[in-house]
Amino acid sequence: MSASSIQPRHVFGLKGDVKNNVHYIDETTVIFPAGNNVVVYNIEQKKQKFIPGTVESEGITCIAISPNHKHIAVAERAEKAIITIYDLHTLKRRKLLTSPECGSREYVSIAFSPDGKTLAAQAGAPEWNLLLWSWEKTKVASMTKSTNQQGMPLHQVEFNPHDGTLVTCSGNQIFKSFRVAESNLKPLAPMLGKREPQNYTAHAWLPDEKERLVVGSDQGELLLVEGGELRASLMTPAEGISIEVILPYSKGFIVGGDSGLLTLYEKTEDKEYYKKSKTFLIENNTVKVKSLAIQPGEETLLCSLENNQMFVLSLSNSDIMKTDEMNFELFTQSFHSKGITGVDCCIRKPLVATCSTDMSVRVWNYVQKTTELVKFFPEEAHSVAFHPSGLQILVGFGDKLRLMNLLMDDIRAYKEFGIKGCRECRFSHGGSYFAAVNNNTIQIYNTYTCENVGNLRGHNGKVRSIYWAPDDTKIVSAGMDGAVYEWTLKDFKRDKENVLKGCSYNCVVATNDHHQTFAVGSDRKLKEFEDAQVSKEFDTGAVLTQICLPASGRALFAASESGSVRSYNFPLTGTFTEYQAHAGPITRMRISFDDSLLFCVSDDGCLFVFDVREKDGRAKAGKEGQVVFAEEVLVTRSDLEEKKTRMAELETQVNELTTQNEYKLRLKDLDLNERIKDITEKFTHELEGDKAKFELLLQEKNEQEMEYEEKLKQAEERHQALLHQLEAQFQAKIMGEVERYHALQQEKELLNERWDEQNALLVESHERVILELTEEYEDKLQEEQVTLHRVENEKGEAAREFEETKRQLEEDADREIDALKKQYEAKLAQEREIGLRLKGENGIMKKKFNALQKDIDDQKEEIKQLFEQKKELYQTIGSLEKDISGLKKEISERDETIGDKEKRIYDLKKKNQELEKFKFVLDYKIKELKKQIEPRELEIADMKEQIKEMDHELERYHKNNALLDLTISDLKLKLDGIQKETLVQRKANQDLQSVIRQFHHNLHETAQHVQDPKALKESVKKLYQKHCAEDIKQEGMEEDIQKEYNRQREYLEKSVESLKRKLHKDMESHRQDNMRIMQENVTLIKEINELRRELREAKKKAGRAVEVVKTNKRTKSAGQARPLPSSVEEAGRELEMQKTEISKLQMRIFELERALSMHEKVNPRPMSRERLPPMDYGVDGTSAP
């Protein structure tokens, strides 16, 4: 069974509502949350590592980094609030902290102690408890309620960096401090005194030797606390701008507030303590600053905003640079600030397009990990599709569907379609067509002509998903009506269908061969269809919003409403692996053309890029090798010309500046040369003076050297004399000490002799004492042995007495044990009866408990179902509100249109009144003109009669022509038969000629054997056998038939000649008659030119009459065929059988000759002789009918 896994590769986005959501680990590594993950981003390598969130969680709420930058704490929202501790070096989980004492589903703020062993966590509503975790032991060291009596919310908790036992927390009308003593949190006296409470949104301890604390409020007020007392109120960053975050650093602190305001405060020695040094405003981002982080070297400041953007500010030269010169730059690139509604990837380029409710469309490069294009529009975009070429995108807005070109630096629309609120659109795999959903209809358009080639109608609800077949011949669709349809694009009809009422489908895909279709919807089930019937069905346990099926068919990827991505084993067995990616419902999911990357977008505004790997961790191989991406871009002619003109202008400016700089350089060179001359002269004068001084100093130096050498000699002589004197003194002292040493040595020898004598005496006395003691102790030992023997005898008697006593005591104990046994057996029987009774009561209570537990579970399940129904209803309400807003816009537009139409109607009514006046006048004029026309009408009637007579005469001529045409055709048929027969005779003649030639040859060979009779005989036999093998038939009738044939042929040729002459004469007479009629018609047309309307009717009647004549002519020509002579009747039958084939051949010959004539008109060639007439033309050049 095939299976694949996914690994996150890169994410474009930030979760902006997380407390303290950006941190520096070191100079080149930044941590920030995205979706339901914590991203570790390397700035230099542009690589991301991921710390995934807990599967059961609902999103990250706050982050904290330990002071030694070794651990990170991530707080997540769940049924029981979770804090997870990770190792920042291995990115592995160290501890998972959960406690029922939290009293909330989330933590609003967390902070590490200075030693990193304790974690302070401020829980959220409803209880607002402050917990102190000893996280290495996974236990709560202390807990207290930090809110006030009104239950106001809290925003932040912090440790004093110089005193790990002091904890502060701030909130709405709350600022409290606690002391950690004996694993308890003891509240301290209020630091802000009796000051009127405000909404304290942020506070921070400053890195001073003194205990200083800065507190900020939502009114922009900054308070300085020192030593537990309020010292001063600092200058506000801006009036009425709330303070959101305070960051301390070596020079002071930085304040981030609302409207993208950032203020730097620096320490002073005066009474103000801190002064406001610089103020910055992040342009085009007037939102709250949510978090600040400073690089360890304090060269760069990183800030995150409420709209999911990150900016950096260089602080390295902040002392010398002006505020205008210091600008914020995007940290990596800009992200979507609201939920993403659509995503699609390109085949020929490493690009992904997304659209969002923030009214922007963005194109991302997932190889370079950058943003290629960003374009904001006046309306929200609901869907996006990428053309395979990478040069066009299709975006569905609230008012229209737009096809746009991706230019080098812009996204420009070039075609609009009248589809409002298109929430699903897809290009075909080849890119020639695209499908767009218009409510419950799927419209198919040609990409290059933008024509609507067909519509797919059949859904009763909105279409939610469409899927193109790999060969672009079929489309699978699914909608809110619970229908899954398969359409064929050849006739735009339904091929297969499956309808499940009560289920609203979210997405549908199919395999490459379209034998299997997969769909997910609101019923929390994954369905597999085969031949439009549900073959498999798996309970997913959650609402799946999107599914993707790779072309390789190794896995099925599904996205859930909770933000997780699942990888199902394929073929489906129901088993899957899950990865928690987003912090909101996943709205769209796409897979790359080579099945190596998976793209997911969600309502949290993040775009995740996953690597699709095999189960063993290997990356998937692409389709037929790695795809080579295209590099071409679109540039409009106007932009190119503008850039060319700009380049030309810049070149001229560069040339002008070059000449100007060269001129300035020349002037500077001249000036510098003059200055060098002056300095050189000055230097030479000073050098001469210095040389004279140097000579004087050198002379003084030599004199001083001589003087000091003499002094040094005298000092050495004095020193030598003093040295000799000291040597004599010390020599005398040494001799005295040597004599004293010899005396002491003699005294020592005498003492040694005396002590040796004393030592010998002591040894003798010691040995004598030892002998006496030995004798004494041997006597004592004998006495002790006697005593021991006596004691052993006494011990045996005592043992016997003990055994007897023991036996008697055991008998008494057995009797007492039997009595107690009977007594306690009776008590045990009573206790057993009581136990059985209690067991029965316990069983009854267990049944009651199980019944109650079951009721509780049913109630919980019902509550869950009600919550789910509530969510679905909220979603429905949201979609209906959007529909209502769209409809209101449409109603307002239609009201404006109706107003314009009413104005137009009013104007038209006025014009109508004026036209009625003109009509009255024109009616009068028409009556007068009719009176004038009546005489003309009489003339027209006379002319009509003349035309009728001429028509009758023309009809008569046509009849005569028809008869002649029939006669000519009959003769031509006879002529064709004769020509065919002539060809047959010619062929037979040729065959006979060949036989005669062969006979001549054989006869010549036979004549060669005249001298040899035997050979001659054999040759004659062979000649006879060869040419006379068949019986020779009598041909007595052949001459008569030949004569008859020649006679008939001569007769037919004469008849044809006479008919041709007659035809020529008739045609000449007819031509003259036609010319005469044409002249008369011309005169008539000139006379009745003013009355063409009436004449058109007459011409129509004449045309109908001509058609009737033609039909009569055809019927008469078919019935008035003249009988053929008897000699041609047999040939006529044969000719009728081949008539069809002859007519086909004649048409083919005519077409070939016409093509040849056209070719020769273009390229004429020299004629060797006169060309023969075609077979369908007469001898005199006239056309055969």
Q: Which whole number is the average pLDDT over 654-670?
A: 89
**Residue length of the chain:** 1185
What mean pLDDT is reported for the chain? Answer: 83
Sorted by sequence, the CB contacts under 8 Å of residue 196 that are 6+ apart come out as none
Contact 214, 249 (CB under 8 A): no
Contact 353, 362 (CB under 8 A): yes
pLDDT for 34 equals 94
**Matching residue, tokens 């047309």:** 1085
pLDDT for 298 equals 87
Is pLDDT of 750 > 60? Answer: yes
Decide the pairing of beta strands 4-12 and 23-26: unpaired
Q: Which residues pair with 493 in a beta bridge?
A: 488
- The band of 479, judged by pLDDT with boundaries at 50, 70 and 90, is very high
Q: Which whole number is the average pLDDT over 321-330?
A: 69
Encode 382-395 in three state secondary structure: EEEEECCCCCEEEE
Q: Which whole number is the average pLDDT over 197-219?
A: 86
Q: Which whole number is the average pLDDT over 530-537?
A: 87
**Measuring CA to CA, how many Å separate 388 from each of 82, 142, 589, 644?**
44, 60, 17, 30
Contact 600, 565 (CB under 8 A): yes
Q: Which whole number is the average pLDDT over 839-852?
A: 81
Q: Percent helix, strand, coil in the chain (nearest 5)?
A: 45, 30, 25
- The band of 317, judged by pLDDT with boundaries at 50, 70 and 90, is low
pLDDT for 427 equals 94
Distance CA 262, CA 279 (A): 6
User: Per mean pLDDT, which range of 440-449, 552-561, 953-962 is the poorest?
Assistant: 953-962
Residue with the larger pLDDT of the pair 273 and 522: 522
Sorted by sequence, the CB contacts under 8 Å of residue 293 that are 6+ apart come out as 22, 23, 24, 30, 247, 301, 302, 303
User: Per mean pLDDT, which range of 27-36, 373-382, 642-651, 1129-1138 is the poorest?
Assistant: 1129-1138
Contact 7, 609 (CB under 8 A): no
pLDDT for 377 equals 93
Contact 340, 602 (CB under 8 A): yes
**Matching residue, tokens 């010390």:** 730
pLDDT for 3 equals 66
Question: Does 571 sit behind a cis peptide bond, omega within 30 degrees of 0 on the bond before it?
Answer: yes
pLDDT for 1095 equals 66
Rounded to 5 degrees, φ, ψ at 801 are -60, -40
- The band of 1016, judged by pLDDT with boundaries at 50, 70 and 90, is confident
Distance CA 1068, CA 1064 (A): 6
Is pLDDT of 475 > 90? Answer: yes
Sorted by sequence, the CB contacts under 8 Å of residue 299 that are 6+ apart come out as 314, 315, 316
pLDDT for 1161 equals 53
**Matching residue, tokens 């070096």:** 89
